[in-house]
Structure 1
């Protein structure tokens, strides 16, 4: 990290990838930066509302980051074009849907729609930026991405989120080969216990995979039959979206 800007960005990314607020010591440990450096940069970021502190003096992302993210989403052709399709999927199927893209070697959820009128929902939203190997959408992007991307993800370590998470590199490669062959991916309680998900690729006009649409729900509702039907609906939505993407 050559500049103060690099260090500030690393600090912000460490706040995004954590669950809940983080202490100064935790941020320093996660980033490998001296506590004095982290404290100085956090003070600047807090003054400009990019981070904020709670009553325990722990840090989280601030309102300025949220506002910038919302503005970027509004100006994204992908997010704008996908919005009505995601709304329709939620209305028709009553399950949570996500729109995801790759950012370096991580899965970034750029949009999410959740049903409001059902008794059983997903307990919590996933982190907007996460490792891709344990989610249906992440598997899609890995399967259709560059082989060097998969090597990077494996080299970084495959986190075990549940007992079902695939953490063996050979098993993951075999799983991704099936995704390429079938054109869709599933997550069988691999990211969160009690949650099944299915995802399909979104291609641009040239045929390159640029995003993924996924649907997730509790295992008691996501039967094999519903998972299959959702896969078809997601594929139709992705095909509708493709002509709008360069």
Structure 2
């Protein structure tokens, strides 16, 4: 099951945005970008009234923003008159994603992992308190819907890729506390690690063994094992590759026993170099 969050101006602009922080109304380019980001949440299209509520702006204001986006080819109306992302936006997004150097290099590895284990393989990077999925390959058969999508995010502290990449950063429990800050860690399942002490202990274990695990901490019934990769950085992993599996079909212990095989499939991508 996918987790969703309430959409507001802070979501659209980012929590550190001056506009989001001071509570002022969205204006100019900020308003247009907020409408564009809101459209991405409605793959089946959205009406003007609903979109107006989603971005908390007056209807004429949202209508003008939609007009600007439509003229640029970034928004359109479907046959039912509902607003959707435009074909030009999708063309640019997919062309950019496919051309990213790390995406091109990592995808064959993901395909090999998905074929070998019959489970979903991911490539993700760390962005603050979250991981962002840059690539995803489902198995040829037996794929199930996970919360991950390309470009989507999950909490770093509940995912194998996130904890693995975090293990290179906070070392002491005080540093973990500073990383957590004032915002409590989200509890995605009953197994999520939501205290500084528990997360510190897990990061230390991850650092020692060289791989990260998620034992149904982000999604009930799904476990994961992640290893670092170095597609753009020679000594510090720029991301991580993971195998996300249904716990009843591929238990975490099975992934752990196969860690050397997974590492071998990564090849040079999984090896730091000078």
Query: Normalization by structure 1: what TM-score?
Result: 0.77
Name which of structure 1's ranges 8-17 and 163-172 shifts more when overlaid on structure 2. 8-17
Q: Residue 160 of structure 1: SS of its match in structure 2? A: coil
Q: Could you say what the CA RMSD is over the residues aligned between the two structures, in angstroms?
A: 3.6
Do the aligned residues in 1 keep the contact of 2:110 with 2:121 (CA within 8 Å)? yes
More contact order relative to length (CA 8 Å, sep ≥ 6): 1
Give the corresponding residue for 2:269: 241
Choose the corresponding residue for 1:218, options 243, 246, 262. Answer: 246
2:119 aligned with 1:91? no
Structure 2 CA distance for partners of 1:243 and 1:124, relative to 1, 3 Å: closer
Q: Residue 214 of structure 2: SS of its match in structure 1? A: strand
Query: Normalization by structure 2: what TM-score?
Result: 0.70
Q: CA deviation at 1:122?
A: 2.2
Any unmatched runs of 5+ in structure 1?
Answer: none
Give the corresponding residue for 2:219: 192
Give the corresponding residue for 1:133: 157
Give the corresponding residue for 2:192: 165
2:72 aligned with 1:72? no
Distance in 1 (alpha carbons) for counterparts of 2:161 and 2:87: 28
Distance in 2 (alpha carbons) for counterparts of 1:152 and 1:51: 38
Name which of structure 1's ranges 177-186 and 199-208 shifts more when overlaid on structure 2. 199-208
Structure 2 CA distance for partners of 1:103 and 1:235, relative to 1, 3 Å: same
Write out aligned runs for 1:1-246 (5 A).
1=18, 4-13=28-37, 23-24=50-51, 27-28=54-55, 34-35=57-58, 37-38=61-62, 40-51=64-75, 61-118=85-142, 121-127=143-149, 128-130=151-153, 131-145=155-169, 151=178, 154-203=181-230, 204=232, 206-242=234-270
Structure 2 CA distance for partners of 1:157 and 1:228, relative to 1, 3 Å: same
Q: 1:93-120, CA deviations, whole angstroms, 9 ceiling, x for partnerless residues?
A: 21110011134543111111111223xx
